[in-house]
Structure 1
Amino acid sequence: MNPNATDRSPLVVWGALAIVYVVWGSTYLGIGIMVETIPPMLGGSMRFLTAAVLLGGFVLARSGRQAFRMTRQQFLGACLVGVLLLTLGNGMLAVAEQYISTGLAALLVASVPLWLVIFRFVVRDRPRTLTLAGVLVGLGGVAALSLTGGEGASTVGIVVVLVASLLWAVGSFLSSRIAMPPNTFATSAVEMLAGGVGLAVLGAGLGERLDLSAITGRSWLALVYLILMGSLVGFTAFSWLLGNAPISLVSTYAYVNPAVAVLLGALVLSEPVTLRIIAGGVIILIGVALVISTERNRSQVSQSPGEGVDRGVDVRLGVLRGHEPQATRNHVDSPVE
């Protein structure tokens, strides 16, 4: 964290945190409205390609072409992560929201930090006992939501969003273990470009067609909101917070976003919020909170002068990546942003 972070106005910090809370929590609603009349894959492609151009232009204007200096291996690494996070993770989330409520999707996506802990266990980076307990609690909530779903929930939609969360976790896990470009913003631009191209190819291959005459103004507004607020404003606020606020405070959005998504879905789309959904969601968030708090304490104890710790939480999902001797890398979007 920036050594001058303690000098930052609490009002500014909480303002930026409020943006991350509300904007990223609202992207589930934005996706739900977008896919009402825009094919999910092609809509996601337009979103990320436009955001990539805007972000890339900003980086070029601010830092020049040197910001995009990267090796072939770093470029391909960013492209791979972009495809996993955005083409497969975010794209499948958009598909799932055609069948299940935005609130239920948000709660299932909140399970991503749990998958990351499982991946770490597989590669013999053994988490603490409390971390594993959090995983078991959280997966119990996922199972409860998956088996009960809620009124009108589609089994297909639930399966698709769980696969999307798993692929997002794979991309997040790999991002701290493969070569990536040194500039965070340039990395995000490349990821969005690769993800957008992948969505266009996948959408066209699956038979999606863009009928401009059938798209409502409501869906266009949702798409613009996702581009400007979800992919650019939210990302900028989150990146600023990582350098100017304690990671323990920043990481709280991992449990606030799903609550915001459920509330907005109920208020705007009149989505049903049953006791089963509330109970399953609370169980998931308790598990995620236990994982994040335990791993945060582990990072603080383990870090010593001259030794870096990956303190990052994946943008949009704020996914904990655990204890890594690498610089923090932030991604512009989670399956939802």
Structure 2
Amino acid sequence: MNCFSDAQRQISPKAYNLIIVCLLGYILVDFVLFHWGPAPECENFALDVAKAHPDLPDGASQQVVNSITGSEEDPLCKTALGHLKFAPEVPIDKAWNQMKWIGAPAYCKVKGHLIESLDPLNNFRRGFALKFVSDVEDKTLVLPWLYGTKVNLNTKQRRVYLDFGANDFRTSVTWFLQMYPCDFTEVHAWEVNPGLFNIPSPGFNEDTNWIPENPHATRVIQTPKVSDWMVQRIKQYSTFVSDDDGKGSVNITRFMKEELKLAEEDTVVVKMDIEGAEWPILQRWLNDPEMAQIIDELFVEIHYKHPSMLDYHWGQFTHTREEATQLMAELRAKGFFVHAWP
């Protein structure tokens, strides 16, 4: 049964035309209002940068935005100011505030590659400060930004890891040998406390521990221990790491250049945790362009005095957290691919 007459089913061509015109008009209005011209986030960010840093030269705030969008290199990235964290970030400021365990990337690259933004608000320990982890030594934050994941450091014949303040054998030395994407040919570890850094005896052959696949995917005969190759490459030192040679201490800059004879053609990764003695060493490195060329990647715990760090016995230090942040920015501006450790 047909419920509609032929007259009811007929629609005037004028009505069709009117509908099409309305739809086209809606599309045009939407494009003009929301898709025409520069992204509003970038416009607002340029204004935010200019307001936050009125001392910037004319046009510098827009150059910051251009560097983020990839349209041109930011000239500020050659200065410490360019590596300091601008606020608010664009366009994801709130997204990284309380939920992101891994920090946002910095807009200034180092050695031509992205690196994490500095996060002094969380004492450079985002995961711990936001309670994602309970261990202040957690190293998850640096994993996405390792220089060794961006550049194949295994192509160099000599591959050196230096640990200043090695503590226990199973902390940083083991972590770098197992986790860092480079097969180090030699390891130099400094720890003045003889009761801490104890290299275990060899006795585990990694090559003979494999068995063919089985239905349960068990691939090893026994739980891996410290391998022979790992122990054989480590050289231990019990002197203090310092900026000058003294009784019981070593001028580490001189030692690296003259005794280890490290050079730009080597792979060199450095981790430094020497309880405040890092300040004069890093200041020297800022004024020594050779060191930025020698060191491929630097991990350093810069100690400072701040109420949030008093529970970790940092009240003895004199530098401020702002000074520590400034030092990190200056190192990056000089070409050091440097992270806060841990």
Query: Structure 2 length as normaliser, TM-score?
Result: 0.24
Query: Structure 1 length as normaliser, TM-score?
Result: 0.24
Task: Return the structure number with greater strand share.
Answer: 2
Larger Rg: 2
Task: Return the structure number with greater helix share.
Answer: 1
